[in-house]
Amino acid sequence: MFTIKNIALFCISALVVMALVLFIRYPHLEKRYIRTILERNGIQVSSIADIEHADGKTIISRVDLDPNQFSYITGLEYELSRLKALRSTPPKRLKINDVTLTAEINHNWQLDMTGWKPRVSKILPFEELFLEHGQIDIATRWGGIRLETKGKFHKSQDNQTNFVGILWAVQNQLRMQSKIQAVQSNKGLWSAEIDISEAAIVLPEIETARVSGWLSYAETKAAIPRASAQIYAGKLNLGYMELSNVSITLDSNADHIQFLIEGKVSGPDEIHFNVDISNAQAGFMIEATINGNEPAKLLAFLENVHKTFNLKSFKSDILTPLMITQGNLDRIYNELEDQSYDEAKIVLSGSLYDMTGKIVTTTHKNDVPRTSVISLDPSSL
């Protein structure tokens, strides 16, 4: 026969058993909680080290993001009651002492990161996230580069996520100092601004110096985000091309993308170039002009562009229709020898894989300009 005393003893015994089970199983449940929180945000979890508790904080010394331990998190800290942890409630504040990631740029020029597939469209589940230090080592076809960062995520009252941080690099291959400000709207759309105060790259077949500028990016419901940029490079060497005072401007929105590239060919000769790349129904279209007083040197530069695009690092067929062969160049040189001119320029136009080119020379007689055109395509003769 059950009495009130028996019922009370049964309840107390049940609570003791439940408490004992939770005490024994809680480390396992807590690791599962951490795994759930991280994987919801695109961070894969391979293993979680022992969990410590001190001064009301939960401290995890290390979380490996892949079996080979190439990518990992160290020093993850948060405050959360066990009851909320059992209910998978995210902590209000999360602190990460260090994140180390490895990545590579694949053949499609996409960044593949080991152990992390960022889901930038998701709303950050924490009110605050502090990153004391982050590092990403990227393998490229030109060699390895390392980027480092630190910053703070903060969720505002209207459920927007704000990020303020810095991004830098101190390698011989890459030196950079920049500031980042980003906002994620309550609809999950990101916008960001990056201000580059100084940057330089030294890699096989790529070298830049005195680089500065800014980039702006904003996600929209359209397939193409809004983006704009203004980058200046005092020096830019790509393969056989040696350039200086290069300015790159980007402007894109839902239905329009345009790149403007202007600069000078390094050296005593005044050779200037400008390239306009924009999207169209047939794909990307190019309008390019190379200006100088000596056509032979203009052709030499065009030949260097062609040689650069034949290098393994830059391999592309976009200049193939221009027929930049030694025989064709000799033919053009012979035609130029029979002319006199004051100015000259090379004009390229067309789609990426269907481009035409010509040399336009100009003479001035009695203040009247006269032009002569030589096609780069021998079949047009």
Which residue in 347, 297, 294 sits closest to 322, CA to CA?
Answer: 347
Q: Give the DSSP letter of residue 32.
A: H
Please report the pLDDT score of residue 120 as a whole number. Answer: 47
pLDDT tens digits, the chain, 381 residues: what are they? 445 544 444 444 444 434 434 443 455 667 777 787 777 777 888 888 878 877 778 888 888 888 888 889 898 888 765 555 555 566 788 888 999 988 888 777 677 877 776 654 455 677 888 999 999 998 887 778 899 999 998 888 788 889 999 999 998 889 999 999 999 887 878 899 999 999 999 988 899 999 999 999 998 877 778 899 999 999 999 999 999 999 999 998 877 889 999 999 988 778 999 999 998 776 788 999 999 878 888 888 888 888 888 888 788 877 777 778 888 888 888 887 777 777 888 899 988 788 888 888 888 777 777 888 888 877 655
Place of tokens 């291959």: 173
Q: Give the DSSP letter of residue 163.
A: E
Type of residue at 145: I
Q: Are strands 343-351 and 283-292 parallel, antiparallel or unpaired?
A: antiparallel
Please report the pLDDT score of residue 368 as a whole number. Answer: 78
Question: Distance (Å, rounded) from C-alpha 33 to C-alpha 25?
Answer: 12
Exposure of 380 in the CB half-sphere (CA atoms within 13 A) = 13
Show the tokens assigned to 334: 């012979």
Quick check: 168 and 176 in contact, CB under 8 A? yes
Quick check: 373 and 344 in contact, CB under 8 A? no
Quick check: 210 and 278 in contact, CB under 8 A? no
Q: Give the DSSP letter of residue 125.
A: S
Please report the pLDDT score of residue 23 as a whole number. Answer: 40
Question: Distance (Å, rounded) from C-alpha 30 to C-alpha 166?
Answer: 32
Number of neighbouring beta carbons within 10 Å of residue 90: 19
| pTM, entire model | 0.78
Exposure of 293 in the CB half-sphere (CA atoms within 13 A) = 4
- Which residues neighbour 44 within 8 Å (Cβ) at sequence distance 6 or greater? 38, 65, 66, 115, 116, 117
Number of neighbouring beta carbons within 10 Å of residue 369: 10
Which residue in 328, 329, 261 sits closest to 290, CA to CA?
Answer: 261
